[in-house]
Structure 1
Amino acid sequence: MTRGWFVTGTDTGVGKTRVAAGLIAALRAQGHRVAGMKPVASGCVATPDGLRNEDALALLAASGLDLPYGWVNPVAFAPPIAPHIAAAEAGRPIRFAPLKHALERLYDHADRVVVEGVGGWRVPLGPDGDVADLAAALGLPVVLVVGLRLGCLNHAALTVADLRRGGLSLAGWVASAVEPGFARAAENLAALADIIDAPRLGVLAHRPLASPSEVAASLQLPCSAHARTS
């Protein structure tokens, strides 16, 4: 039985953090202890306590657990650029072994861990591979966030085909309205259901400021999420 999920997107800016925080809230409502994780983040802000990423802080807040920030976001870079470029500039190549260790440490403190990727599905990370390779290395089923905008059918089809070729498990997908007034939304949702051979876990309206609990109300959990860990 899985103890975690890897939330990825068809592109950057499609609502991965909202979905990840919503899943955390939905799991907590069932009585689980849930940790959020953002293994790699760029665009972090310098603070007296070190670099901090807005998405990672949102996951930490949603979890309600008193965890060190570095456990939630082990790799942080200040420039808002592709992470492999930021890593090269910093002289800190992103390796997967420490990220796997960080996930195992979170498992010691939580029943479930919701991991959020960075950017889209094939964003390069470094010598160990890209985001897809990281999801495989962590051994987690994937929740795909599809940004509802022009081009989403192509992006979803390519992402799902690549995911299947890699042998990863697709636990479900979430449609995220990133553009208010997106034309033919219902028709696109129907087409996505035909393209993606996995359960639709929810459709999120364009509400960027919705709380995790409000997002959770629009989500269904992946089937394996319902069982309690002994």
Structure 2
Amino acid sequence: MVFEGCFVTGTDTGVGKTLVSAALLHTLARHHARVVGMKPVAAGLVPHAGGWVAEDALALRAASSVRVPPELDCPVALPDPLSPHLAARRAGRLLDLAPMLDAYRQLRTLADVALVEGAGGWRVPLNDRQTLADLAVALGLPVVLVVGLRLGCLNHALLTAEAIRRDGLTLAGWVANSVDPDMACRDENIDTLRERLGAPLLGVVPWQAPPGPDARHIALQLPQAWQGPQS
């Protein structure tokens, strides 16, 4: 099967999904000519170039090797930094999967590989019926799980992996991100996840303060099936 992209999720919000997504984009660009990142729904905007934009979308654009219209790589941008369903409610909008899926299909005509970054964790609500997991299932992409290394991460990571597989998707790998510089038994926690997650560890991101937007220095190992000849 030809590799088309991946879906990046996290054990929680604030665990470094965007940083890891940018690092994955840089790594993928070594093997594929046209690589693009997508943030289907972003909640929380900042002023930029005379307008408003999601910082996550800016970071993904900077790490992508092709430029695409902003309505494709971030089709839903909501002002308030809340769960998408609440941010949409405040903005007087009702979120639906169809525009996100349409934007993804258009992106696929412009790039060889598309990385899709979720918002928050696996079950973050989009509306009264659907969550980000429904988007991931509709896309059918292999999933990369970003584990924020801090107290409680074992439970969060194992439950998320269980949910991903229960939803019929492949957990292709995981990345450990050191979000707590004082975490006790960090290496032992990583070893526990190596034993129990049942997916390859793609890399360990060291703690950095503050997290920088440039992820080119982060070394990640792609699954073999994701590597292809540079065209």
User: C-alpha offsets along residues 68-127 of structure 1, whole Å, 9 cap, x if unaligned?
Assistant: 222111000111111101111222111111111101111111110111000111111114
Preserved CA contact (<8 Å) 1:94 1:127:
no
Q: Which moved more, 1:82-91 or 1:204-213?
A: 204-213
Q: What is the aligned counterpart of 2:216 among 200, 213, 216? A: 213
- The within-5 A match list for 1:81-92 is 81-92=82-93
Aligned residues of 1:95 and 1:128 also touching (Cα < 8 A): no
> 2 CA distance for matches of 1:93 and 1:131?
14
- The structure carrying a bigger helix percent of its residues is 1
Measured after TM superposition, the shift of residue 224 of structure 1 is 2.2
Q: In 1, distance between residues paired with 2:48 and 2:185?
A: 44
Alignment CA distance shift 1:191-1:103 (3 Å): same
Superposition pairs for residues 118-129 of structure 1, below 5 Å? 118-127=119-128, 129=130
- Aligned counterpart, 1:8: 9
* Of 164-173 and 219-228, the range deviating more from structure 2: 219-228
Gaps of 5+ in 2: none
TM-score scaled by length of structure 2: 0.93
Letter aligned with residue 111 of structure 1: D
Matches within 5 A, 1:2-151: 2-47=3-48, 50-127=51-128, 129-151=130-152
The normalised TM-score by structure 1 is 0.94
Cα distance in structure 2, aligned partners of 1:69 and 1:5? 19
SS of the residue 1:118 aligns to:
strand
- Counterpart-to-counterpart distance in 1, 2:230 and 2:38: 19
CA RMSD in angstroms comes to 1.7
1:176/1:95 CA distance change after superposition, 3 Å:
same
Q: How many residues align?
A: 228
Q: 1:199 to 1:11 in 2, by over 3 A?
A: same
CA distance, structure 1, for counterparts of residue 129 and residue 106 of structure 2: 21
Deviation string for 1:15-46 (max 9, x for gaps)?
Answer: 10011101110111224210000000001124
Which segment drifts farther, 142-151 or 130-139? 130-139
Query: Which whole-Å deviations, capped at 9, do the CAs of 1:32-61 have from their partners, x for residues lacking one?
Result: 210000000001124566430001010001
Shift of 1:199: 0.8
CA displacement 1:163-187 (0-9 Å, x = unmatched): 1111111110000000113210111
> 1:210 Cα deviation (Å)?
6.4
Take 1:74 and 1:130, find their aligned partners in 2: how far apart are those partners?
Answer: 16
Instruction: Give the residue type in structure 1 aligned to 2:207.
Output: H
